Structure 1
Amino acid sequence: MKMKIVLLWIFLLSPSIVSYSQEVVIGMADLSGDEELALQYFQAGEYDKAIVYYEKLYNKYPTHDYYNYYLNCLIQTKNYKKAEKLIKRQRARSTDLLVYHVDLGRVYLAAGELEKKKKEFAVAIDAIEGGTSAVEVLALATAFLGIGEVEFAKQTYLKGRKELRGIYSFHIELADLFWLVKDYENMVNEYLDLVTVEESFMQQVKSNLQFKMDAETDDKINSIVKLELIKRSQKNSEKIIWSEMLVWFYMQQNNFTNALVYAKAVDRRKQLDGEEIMFLAEMARYNGAYSAAKDGYDYIISLGKNGFNFRNATIEKLNTAYDELTHGGIYSQNDLISLELEMNTKLDELGRDERTVPLLRTLAHLEAFYLFKTKAAIQLLEKTILISFISPKSQAECKLELGDVFLLDGQVWEASLSYSQVEKAFKYEPIGQEAKFRNAKIAFYVGDFKWSQVQLNVLKGATSKLIANDAMYWSIVITDNLALDSNPEPLMLFAHADLLVFQNKFDSASIDLDSIDKKWPGHALGDDVLFMRYAIAMKQLKWLTAATYLQKIIDNYSSDILGDDATFLVAELYDYKIMEKERCLQYYNDVFVKHPSSLFAVDARKRYRQLRGDKIE
């Protein structure tokens, strides 16, 4: 508590601290006469002229501002004796005596009297005693840092820690100082010692460490943090804070398996009923660490059916198993059938009610899009929509899914009706805009291009950036391919291919695309055809084939609307799927150099700098 009070006072008084070591620049608009001339000469480096005015101003108004300018002029013009007298005169007017030793040391340094400088600095540090305030210690250390005397600043903090005896321990300041000199081991220990003294600073310590770990180009700090946390955890096993810190550390590294080991220990000690492990498992699932996610959910399930998170953990474990199968792309028909069976078994145990709607929706998607049991999926969704106490939002999500299944089954107008119900109920919300977009795509599929474009133009202003961008793209596709050619047949064939891709009928879609290329070579749809071939290859997990189609867009349509999309997407392919660092670096660079106004430019530059090892502020 004492430390918190001292921190507050330091914050309130900090402007007076920095005034000792930093020149205060007065705005030109506020100056007149001697002040303006003095500043002009000072900024131009004409100290012999500036000194005349600052001497006069200081004698009339002996403020810290004029003192600092005048002292700097004296040092620059080598008037060391006069500078010494000025410091002693100013010190006599002030109660903050310690920092003037630093000014005096500066004068001795400029005069080449190094021993006198060291002696003066030592006098200042020796003067710190039990009655010295934390603010005075910070002012002195700040003055030393202001002239690059890091070692004396460190001695100041350490002497202050010794004399103040727990009132304020300067851990954060010392950690920042060690960071400056790249003494990472001492930096990390200062931060962790602060947590030992006052656990309430844990979040601040995490934030500071995270910033410094992110800023470094190698893993040196990461390794030190990991080693120190493990050592402290083993040495002080009764203190749970080190297990909590290790959970945090491993999560920053996306090492969810190790994070879970310590999270379980924390959960048992604090009897949290799996609350924090639920969050950790969700993060693991989001980051594709499916085994760790399932492990976390299993732990919560093992706590018993009466546990607060039992139902959610059971549902999310099955959703994770679904993600693992479908996103990984490596599965057999038996894997899908087994998952369907397990979902139905758990639904029999948990009940088919408003609390299990998310699992019911996932089951319907599995049946329709992977097991091709569209009739069963439609029946399941229609029953789910009628569940008592289902929330309007959950009901709308099920209707969107139902519309997708109808479309998959070839029931286009049933799909449109389902989407329209959601659009009407949530007209101004993102889910309503999503329904409107899907209806616009249905119009596109059936060749009603004008009506589709009217809806897409409205959606350009959607609150969701993703919907707005998609709406803009499809609107441009229609404009470009109807305005330039009165023959709608190529666009009709392209729209049909797009529907077939949605229905996972990739061979049939490819036949339509081949027809466009053969019948209308050089057509304006050329880049769109390539992009659809890329989408098919991605669904089939053919990464190199997908990259080839994107490269063709880059080579032949770089200045068109898909040019920046293709460049960014191929960069991500080589980054995350094909794993060729040099090639992905080149493509990321091309995004922000060749397409500086692209929506992807910021993300591309950030990822480029991360991969190259730049420090990112």
Structure 2
Amino acid sequence: MKKAIILLSILFFSLFCNAQQNEFAIAENYFRNNEYEKAIQLYKKLYDKSPYNTTYLKRLISCYQETEQFLIADNLLSNKLKEKPNLTYLYVIKGYNFERQQKDDKANNLYQKALKTIDNKGSYGSIIASLFKNYNKLDYAIEAYSKIMDNNPKANYGFQLAQIHGEKGDFPKMFESYVNLVDKNENYLNNVKRFTARYINDDAENENNILFKKALLRKSISNPKDIWNDLLAWLFIRQKQYQKALIQHKALLARNPDNLGRINELGKVAFENEEYETAKECFDLIIEKTNYPSDKFKAINNNLKIAIATKQPDVEEQFKAIFNKYGVNQKTIHTQIAYASYLTFEKRNPEEAEKILEKALTLTKSKFFVAHIKLKLGEVLMFTNKFNKALIYFSQVQTKFKDHFLGQEARFKVAQASYFKNDFKWAKAQLKVLKSSATQLIANDAANLFLTISDNEPKDSISSGLKEYAKADLLAFQNKNEEAIVVLNDIITNYKGQPIEDESLFKQAQLFAKQKKYDDAILNYAKILALDKEGIFIDDVYYQMAELYNNELNNPEKAKEYYQKIIFDHANSIYLVDARKKFRKLRGDIVN
């Protein structure tokens, strides 16, 4: 019997809660649609049932205010305060009711009364502060939060204070609040980075960047901690000042050897941004100080990538020196793969590369190492036009790693090899799977190649130029850019007015840019615009032209012109956010 009563009680309580939720949802809908009279009826009913629900009370008062029923609102609040004088947050609501009537003196008297209750250690301090913030009484909100923290050193409303200072445009105090927040509790570090990132950018001379840096430096002097080095390094990385970031990370490394991981990440970022000197310094530190062989060899390989990227004359000797020092064994598998890639694509010696990779297969039983070797071996074979043999290796990896990113990469290589050998039907079948199931980078590459094939497939045995384009693509893959440009020239001449024309112009422009022939690239992009200003490449063309003018040709006015075209004419473009940010920076705005 008791169990039945309990179950019935739970059921009735659940039904009551659901009914209240439904009524509140309907009332909120009325409120959002400015149907305040209808909302009043429901909020009043809800408030009568739950008289201590602050949300219902505030909404009901707001409805009275919107319908200019200020006296009813005031009477409701006064009666509530007589009944429960400890509900001191009601002074703020009552004060705001007077402010809506432009009775500022009465309003301010009540606001001050609410603040005094915080000094008396009233229990509603946070609600009072929150109400001030919601009513846009920002100075009062700052005072309220400050009083709470003065009365209780354990209380931490740094985020709220920082946000209010930001809303007021008082950025020095905002950054100071964020820094103080981390000073009190380092667990807030990532949140502070996230919120601060809204106000700073990659310009070291931006006023907000300078203000944040000053706040950090002041705090690092008054209260030295590792966390300030961390935040300074983070700021310098955002400003692309990688050498300065490295100085901060070195300071941390001197106190904590575990900081090597961050130095490794910095090295990768510096490498991606072609700051090779700083990147090498990072990787050299890893090689010198790490206790993990895998990290050491990754750093060694990254240094070799730098040597190749900077076209150092002794790259081959550097590879051989590593093999002499560490041996040709499982430890240096990735170095062997990198060496094979260098021999193939830089030295045009795929035969030697193939021997190195075939030997590497005998040095390891790790299925992951074997997969990496086979993927590279397939690429080397594609370089020599041995597509069928390459497909065997790619297919083996694809079968072994069905749901792994290695399997996805292998499937893309299968599609690529099939495309190069003009088996467009099979290539499309592989790409169709990858478009939706692969990692983002592979999915993008797959989607682009799928569209190239789909848009240009021959119809009724009439040549569309796709075979010639695939040949040019293969030559570009083989790093034979001059030959690829010649083939693309022939396509542009022989297939005028066909879909392949603008695709060939775009591909050729990219190769020109790679060769630093920026004027030729711009000319090609202009030809695409002349062909069809509504074509599928238009936002790509605008963005690439803007980037060339901005980064290579030192013509910010032209860059702004093309970024602006994306902003106003291509709102759905994947480049929109980046274009808007770069346009505003060129215009001199403070970009958050």
| TM-score normalised by the chain length of structure 1 | 0.79
The 5 A counterparts of 1:61-72 are: 67-68=57-58, 71=61
CA positional deviation for 1:377 = 1.5
Q: Partner residue of 1:200?
A: 187
Alignment partner of 1:213: what SS? coil
Which of 318, 328, 334 does residue 358 from structure 1 map onto? 334
Question: Deviations along 1:212-247, whole A, 9 cap, x unmatched?
Answer: 43699993322111112122223434x322222222
Residue 184 of structure 1: aligned partner: 171
1: CA distance, partners of 2:435 / 2:458: 20
Aligned match of 1:230 in 204, 207, 217?
A: 217
Structure 1 residue 385: deviation in Å?
2.1
Residue aligned with 2:245, SS: helix
Q: CA deviation at 1:170?
A: 2.6
Q: Report the alpha carbon displacement of residue 609 of structure 1 after superposing the two structures with TM.
A: 3.7
Amino acid at match of 2:183: T
| Aligned pairs for 1:411-430 within 5 A | 411-430=386-405
CA-CA distance at 1:561 after TM superposition: 4.4
In the alignment, residue 316 of structure 1 is paired with which amino acid?
A
In structure 2, C-alpha distance between the alignment counterparts of 1:414 and 1:51, rounded to whole Å: 77
Q: Distance in 2 between matches of 1:458 and 1:594?
A: 32
Select which of 325, 330, 348 maps to 1:349. Answer: 325
* 1:152-206 deviation line (CA, Å, top 9, x unaligned): 2222222222222x13143222222211111111121222222222333333323
1:299 and 2:271 equivalent?
Answer: no
User: 2:206 maps to which residue?
Assistant: 219
Which residue of 138, 150, 153 corresponds with 1:162? Answer: 150
AA aligned to 2:317 is: L
Cα deviation code 1:400-451 (max 9, x no counterpart): 2222222323444433333333333334544334334434444444444555
Match of 1:399 in 2: 374
8 A contact 1:534–1:545 mirrored in 2 = yes
Pick aligned residue for 2:113 from 99, 113, 123 = 123
SS at match of 2:291: coil
Deviates more, 1:178-187 or 1:456-465: 456-465
Residue 10 of structure 2 corresponds to which residue in structure 1?
Answer: none
Kept in 1: contact 2:387–2:418 (CA 8 A): no
Secondary structure at the counterpart of residue 258 of structure 2? coil
Task: Report the equivalent of 2:270.
Answer: 284
**2:150 is matched by which residue type in structure 1?**
K
Q: How far does residue 366 in structure 1 lie from its aligned partner after superposition? A: 1.4
Of the candidates 239, 242, 251, which is equivalent to residue 265 of structure 1?
Answer: 251
Tell me if 1:142 matches 2:130: yes
Q: How does 1:485-564 map to 2 (within 5 A)?
A: 486-488=461-463, 490-519=465-494, 521-564=496-539
SS of 1:272's equivalent in the other structure is helix
How many Å separate the matches in 1 of 2:520 and 2:189? 48
Deviation at 1:324, TM superposition (A): 6.0
**Which residue does the alignment assign to 2:580?**
608
Following superposition, the deviation at residue 536 of structure 1 comes to 2.9
Question: Aligned residues, how many?
Answer: 569
Rounded Cα–Cα distance in structure 2 between residues aligned with 1:374 and 1:413? 16
1:388 matched to which residue of 2? 364
Whole-angstrom CA distance in 2 between matches of 1:207 and 1:477: 39
What is the root-mean-square deviation in Å for CA atoms of aligned residues?
4.0
2:299 aligned partner: 316
Change (3 A) 1:277 1:130: farther
1:394 positional shift: 2.7
* In 2: Cα distance, 1:55 partner to 1:475 partner: 60
How far does the alpha carbon of each residue in 1:496-553 deviate from its partner, in whole angstroms, 9 at most, with x for none? 3333333333443344344444555445532233233224324423233223223322
**Per-residue CA shift, 1:123-165, capped at 9, x if unaligned?**
22122236433xx11111122223332222222222222222x
Deviation at 1:264, TM superposition (A): 1.2
* Post-superposition offset of 1:474: 4.6
Q: How does 1:232-251 map to 2 (within 5 A)?
A: 232-237=219-224, 239-251=225-237
> What are the Cα deviations for residues 249-294 of structure 1, in whole angstroms up to 9, with x where unaligned?
2233332211111111111112327333223323322333322221
Give structure 1 stretches of 5+ with no counterpart: 1-23
CA distance in 1, matches of 2:68, 2:464: 87
How far apart are the structure 2 equivalents of 1:440 and 1:71?
65
Is structure 2 residue 93 aligned with structure 1 residue 93? no
Is 2:141 the counterpart of 1:153? yes
Cα distance 1:586–1:464, how it changes in 2: closer, same or farther (>3 A)? farther
Give the partner amino acid of 2:246: L
Q: Establish whether residue 274 from structure 1 lines up as the match of residue 249 from structure 2.
A: no
Q: Cα distance 1:396–1:591, how it changes in 2: closer, same or farther (>3 A)?
A: farther
Q: Give the one of 370, 377, 385 matched to 2:353.
A: 377
Structure 1 residues 151 and 26, CA, compared in 2 at 3 Å: closer, same or farther? Answer: farther
CA, structure 1 residues 261+226, in 2 after alignment: closer, same or farther (shift >3 Å)? Answer: same
- Alignment partner of 2:369: what SS? helix
Contact 1:130 1:163 in 2 (8 A): no
Distance in 2 between the 1:91 and 1:82 partners? 14
Aligned to 2:383: 408
1:254 equivalent to 2:240? Answer yes
**How far, CA to CA, are the matches of 1:507 and 1:342 in structure 2?**
29
Decide whether aligned partners of structure 1 residues 570 and 358 sit closer, same or farther in structure 2, where only a CA change above 3 A counts: farther
Distance 1:388 1:55 in 2: 76
Contact 1:290 1:321 in 2 (8 A): no
Per-residue displacement from partner, 1:568-602 (whole Å, max 9, x unpaired)? Answer: 444444444445444444444545665566xxx13
**Is 2:287–2:299's contact at 8 Å kept on the other side of the alignment?**
no
What letter corresponds to residue 532 of structure 1 in structure 2? K
Q: Which has the higher contact order (CA 8 A, sep 6+)?
A: 1
CA distance in 1, matches of 2:492, 2:76: 86
* CA distance, structure 1, for counterparts of residue 378 and residue 42 of structure 2: 81
CA separation in 2, counterparts of 1:549 and 1:104?
Answer: 68
Q: Unaligned 5+ residue runs, structure 2? A: 1-19
| % identical equivalent positions | 26
- After TM superposition, the structure 1 stretch with the greater mean CA deviation from structure 2, 68-77 or 555-564, is 68-77
**1:371 Cα offset (Å):** 1.8
Does the Cα contact within 8 Å between 1:273 and 1:309 map onto a contact in 2?
no
Deviation at 1:345, TM superposition (A): 0.7
Q: Which has the larger displacement, 469-478 or 345-354?
A: 469-478
Contact preservation (8 Å) 1:589, 1:604: no
CA spacing shift, 1:357–1:572, aligned 2, 3 Å:
farther
Aligned-partner Cα distance in 1 for 2:328–2:110 = 80
- Between 1:280-289 and 1:435-444, the stretch displaced more is 435-444
Per-residue deviation at 1:382? Answer: 1.4
- Aligned equivalent of 1:102: 92
